[in-house]
Structure 1
């Protein structure tokens, strides 16, 4: 009975170990926390907003919340604060009737950033001037989270690394399986 050479066994074991490590590192990507609810809710029409409340399915860190009107102007907000899985932000000035978007970004409990947007409306005529009297900063000066509800899946580098490992492993198996019995014994003697 012939046993495989140690070289072939080692190459196969190394390929399996690398694939296991890449798969293990990719698993947390599926564990990102998510936004459970918000006040105001997505696409809600409300009479007024004194506080923005974002609730996640787990505790998050480093909250960042911005509010923009339909023209893209930033509306001043108080500093966000954490309360377990909730992020709370006071809206110090009354909002004029019209469309608004809350942009949020937090660091998930698994250490990855997540972000999204929540559009809503304040009831009334959009032509009513703001009673805040505070000039809003231009939207370009305030960083805004990217597209709504983006939760990345497995990063592309993980898939690329896994593909390279599969190709290398297949090449090693192909090369070692094509050797003649005399070559294998000669290699084993060295």
Structure 2
């Protein structure tokens, strides 16, 4: 029984150590983000940027263009957890593939690939489109073709017919005030036959 306990305790301890340390051992460094992103469609690209989960060493980046032709890149440089590389020229329209390889912080080499596409730029408006009159601005009409409401005389007539004139409002106020005065005077007079 004592021998069994002595053999069982180290075995259980070794299993616990393996269970606790295996996730850390399996969690190798990896690519965290990239610019361009995988399968991205871009108008242009000036710098390739690869971000890893840890500091990388000895980076190698290869860029293939349309038709599998190699595209020259500057020497990759490492800054913190990121690796940068710049194409030496302007990328033309087409599909591209990035192949990268680095040595991780634990000494193991890791590698991968990314694909992206350079799309055609938006067409710029031609000279005829720039000088043309916008559709939203109507052409000026001759004086004879303009609607009657735009003339000053017609506008004055419209103002006169919309609502009551001012003198009519004044007369109505005088009539109402006079009527109120008559009603008040009639209430104050004593009725005949009383008193």
Of 48, 62, 65, the match for 1:66: 62
Residue 67 of structure 2 aligns to a residue in which SS?
coil
Q: How far apart, CA to CA, are the structure 1 residues paired with 2:15 and 2:69? A: 48
TM-score for the superposition, normalised by structure 2 = 0.51
| Partner of residue 5, structure 1 | 2
Rg (Cα) greater in structure: 2
Counterparts of 1:1-190 in structure 2 under 5 Å? 4-6=1-3, 8-124=4-120
Q: How far apart, CA to CA, are the structure 2 residues paired with 1:71 and 1:17? A: 57
| Partner of residue 164, structure 2 | none
TM-superposed CA distance for 1:42, in Å, is 2.0
For CA contacts below 8 A with separation 6 or more, give which structure has more relative contact order.
Answer: 1
TM-score for the superposition, normalised by structure 1 = 0.52
Q: How far apart, CA to CA, are the structure 1 residues paired with 2:83 and 2:69? A: 22
TM-superposed CA distance for 1:55, in Å, is 1.8
Q: Deviations over 1:27-61 (max 9, x none)?
A: 32443333332222222222332321112243222
Change (3 A) 1:17 1:70: farther
TM-superposed CA distance for 1:111, in Å, is 4.1
TM-superposed CA distance for 1:89, in Å, is 0.8
Aligned pairs, number: 121
Any unmatched runs of 5+ in structure 2?
Answer: 122-195
Any unmatched runs of 5+ in structure 1?
Answer: 126-190
Change (3 A) 1:110 1:31: farther
Query: Cα RMSD (Å) of the superposition?
Result: 2.7
